Chains A and B, each alone.
Chain A
C-alpha cells in the first residue's frame, strides 16, 4: 500500500483518508472528551456520529482552543489580568494561533469541507515581499524576487564554470554535463555565455530598474544584480527556501473570515454536547469508567462531576501536567517531559493598505532579523480601499519571551517601532493593535509542544498508549506538533483505538 501511495506521490500526505468508520459501537457506551479544540471536537464529532454518548468539557467560553480569530469587538484577558479590546474594523481580524492549511493536511481540510467552511488561498511566498537584514544593504529591505534571482543566478554561474573548467569530470559524464549546463542556464537565468549578469535574462527574474511600458516610454531598463559576495554576506539566502518546506508549499489555504471559522463550525455542530467554562480539576479512572471533577469558571468553588466509560483527553501537556490523574508511570512521565514553545502574534490596523498601494505587496510574508521576525500581509480583500489589518509580528524563541514579558500595549508599540524600519508608512498610518503572547494564554500556557529526538524516543509511544480508559490526543500527540493536522490525526487515531477497546469489552 505504501509503495502504491509513493508511486502516486501521495506518501507525504497525512494519514487521514476520509471519514473514520466506527461501526458497531456498544449500546449506551459513553465518552468524556476534555477540551473543545480541534482534537477534542474531531473526537466528539465522530464518536457522537458513531452512536456514543459524548460530553465535552471546555475551559474557555468558546469552541476552538488555539483555532481562534480575534475580530473587532472581541475581548481577551491574558494571564496576569491585562485585558485587550480588539478595535479592528468590521471584517478585519488576526489569527493568534494557526493561520494556514497546507493542501496535504487532508484531515483538517476534510473537516473544513464537511462543516461547510469556505476556504481561500493563503499566500506563503510573495516575490515582491521583503527580505530584511538590519546588517546588510544599509538596513534597506530587499525584494524576495531579487534575492532569489541573484542567489540562484550566482550559484548557477559558479556550477556552470566548474563544469566548463572540467571540475566535474570525475562526477558526471560529458553528455550529462551538457544537460546540466542547459538546466543551469534555465534555472539561474544565465546569458549565452553562462554568466549571471545585467541583461534580459536576469531582469526577467529580478525585475527592471525601469519597468516595461506602452507607447513612447515603453523601453525598459535592466536592473543590475547584486554581486556574489554581497549576496552571500547579506545572508538573505537563508530565507529563499521558505516556501519549499513541505508544509509551506503552494497551495495553502485559510478559511474565509479567519481560522476560527473551523472551530466555530465544529462548536455549532456539537451544540449542547460542549460544556463551556469548565475547568478540569481532577481525572480519576477505575475499572468501569472515568470520573472528572471540574469547576464552573463563572462560579469558582463549585465542583461538578462528570463520568463516562472512556475519556479522550486533549488538554495541552502544559496544563495537564498539573491536573491530578491516575495513569501509570510511563504516561505520567511523558506528560511531564514535554515543554511548550513560546510565540507571540501582534495584529495592527492601519488607515489604508499602504503595503498594496505603495509597495505593491499583495499577501504573503516579509522576513526580517528584527525581533518581530516577520510581517504577514492580509490574504483577502486585495486591492480594496479603506483600512487594513496585517500581522505585524510573529515572534519565536528568545524574542517571544521578551515580548511576553511586556504589557500588551508595549508589545504593540514595539511592533510598530520595529516594523517602521521596513515600512516607513507605519507611524503615520497606524491606528490600533492587539497582541497575543502564548505563554500568557490562560487555556494553553504556551504555544505548542517542543519535542526533541531524545524525548520522542523516550516518551512519545507512552503518550500515545491508551492508559486503562484514558487516551490522549492533540497536536502534542503527533509528529505534526504545532499544526492542526496533528490534532485531527491524533484524535482519529485515539478514537479508533478507544472504539476497538469499547467494542471488545462491551459496555462495561
Chain B
C-alpha cells in the first residue's frame, strides 16, 4: 500500500495538475494569480479604477471610430435596470462585469464585480456627473437580475 503521507501528497499533486489544466489559457495567461484585485465597495473608487477607462474622468464619454457614451447628464440612466444589465452582462465593446452564477471569486484575468460593488458604482454614477436619481439600488436587486452564465474563453 502507498503510505498515507505519500498518497496525500499524490492527491495534492493530482489536484494541482487539474487546477493547472483549468488555468491553461489563451495567449498570455499570467499564470500567477494577480495580487491586485479590486476589493473596494466604494462606488467612486470603482468608477475611477474601472469605468473611467472608457467613459472618462468626467463621464463625458469619447468618440473614435465609434463612441463610448457619456454617462454625465444621461437620461438612459433613469432605469437602473438598464444600467445594471449592461454592467452585469456587457454590451459590445464593454466586457461583462457580473460574476457568473455559482462562481465565488474572480479568476486571475477577469474583471468581475460583486453585486454589492455593482450596486455601489451604479448608485455613484446615478448621483454624480449631473445625474440626480434618488432611488438607491441594492445588492439584492442586482442579484435578482440575470448574471453571465459562463466565463469567457481566454
Residues 422-464 of chain A, each 1 if its beta carbon lies under 8 Å from chain B, else 0: 0000000000000001011111111000111110100000000
B64–A228 CB distance below 8 A? no
Residues 92-118 of chain B, each 1 if its beta carbon lies under 8 Å from chain A, else 0: 111110000000001111111000000
B32 on interface, CB distance cutoff 8 Å: yes
CB-contact partner of B2 in A166, A280, A369, A398, under 8 A: A166
A303 on interface, CB distance cutoff 8 Å: no
B81 on interface, CB distance cutoff 8 Å: no
A398–B36 CB distance below 8 A? yes
With A158-B6, A167-B10, A405-B53 as given contacts, are A374 and B30 in contact (CB-CB < 8 Å)?
yes
With A322-B66, A397-B109 as given contacts, are A237 and B10 in contact (CB-CB < 8 Å)?
no
B133 on interface, CB distance cutoff 8 Å: no
Which residues on B sit within 8 Å (CB–CB) of A342?
53, 95, 111
A216 on interface, CB distance cutoff 8 Å: no
Q: How far is the CA of A442 from the CA of B65 in the complex (A)?
A: 6
Q: How far is the CA of A394 from the CA of B6 in the complex (A)?
A: 39
Residues 41-70 of chain B, each 1 if its beta carbon lies under 8 Å from chain A, else 0: 000000011111110100000111111100
A369–B67 CB distance below 8 A? no
B16–A232 CB distance below 8 A? yes
A76 on interface, CB distance cutoff 8 Å: no
Interface of B is mostly: loop
With A342-B53, A373-B30 as given contacts, are A318 and B93 in contact (CB-CB < 8 Å)?
yes
| Nearest B residue to A100, CB-CB | B27
B35–A167 CB distance below 8 A? no
B38–A370 CB distance below 8 A? no
With A241-B20, A242-B31 as given contacts, are A398 and B111 in contact (CB-CB < 8 Å)?
yes
Distance from A408 Cβ to chain B, minimum over Cβ atoms (Å): 12
Residues 156-171 of chain A, each 1 if its beta carbon lies under 8 Å from chain B, else 0: 0011011001110000
| Nearest B residue to A406, CB-CB | B53
Q: How far is the CA of A237 from the CA of B33 in the complex (A)?
A: 12
With A165-B6, A238-B23 as given contacts, are A318 and B66 in contact (CB-CB < 8 Å)?
yes
With A367-B30, A398-B38 as given contacts, are A339 and B95 in contact (CB-CB < 8 Å)?
yes
A369–B33 CB distance below 8 A? yes
Looking at A23-31, A129-137, A199-207, A348-356, the stretch in contact with chain B turns out to be A129-137
Which residues on A sit within 8 Å (CB–CB) of B32?
131-133, 235-236, 238-239, 367-369
Size bracket, chain A contacts = 35 or more
| Nearest A residue to B60, CB-CB | A80
Distance from B43 Cβ to chain A, minimum over Cβ atoms (Å): 14
A371 on interface, CB distance cutoff 8 Å: yes
A453–B150 CB distance below 8 A? yes
A402–B54 CB distance below 8 A? no
A401 on interface, CB distance cutoff 8 Å: yes
Residues 338-367 of chain A, each 1 if its beta carbon lies under 8 Å from chain B, else 0: 111110000000000000000000000101
B36–A241 CB distance below 8 A? no
A247–B36 CB distance below 8 A? no
A317 on interface, CB distance cutoff 8 Å: yes
Name A's B-contacting residues (CB within 8 A).
59, 79-80, 131-135, 155, 158-159, 161-162, 165-167, 228, 232, 235-242, 244-245, 247, 279-280, 315, 317-319, 321-323, 336, 338-342, 365, 367-371, 373-374, 394, 396-402, 404-405, 437, 439-446, 450-454, 456, 481-483
Apart from A232-B16, A239-B30, A315-B65, 16 more pairs, CB < 8 Å: A135-B35, A161-B3, A238-B32, A245-B26, A280-B65, A318-B93, A319-B66, A339-B94, A339-B152, A340-B93, A340-B95, A369-B35, A373-B28, A397-B108, A445-B54, A452-B150
Closest 3 CB pairs of A and B: A442-B64, A167-B2, A404-B53
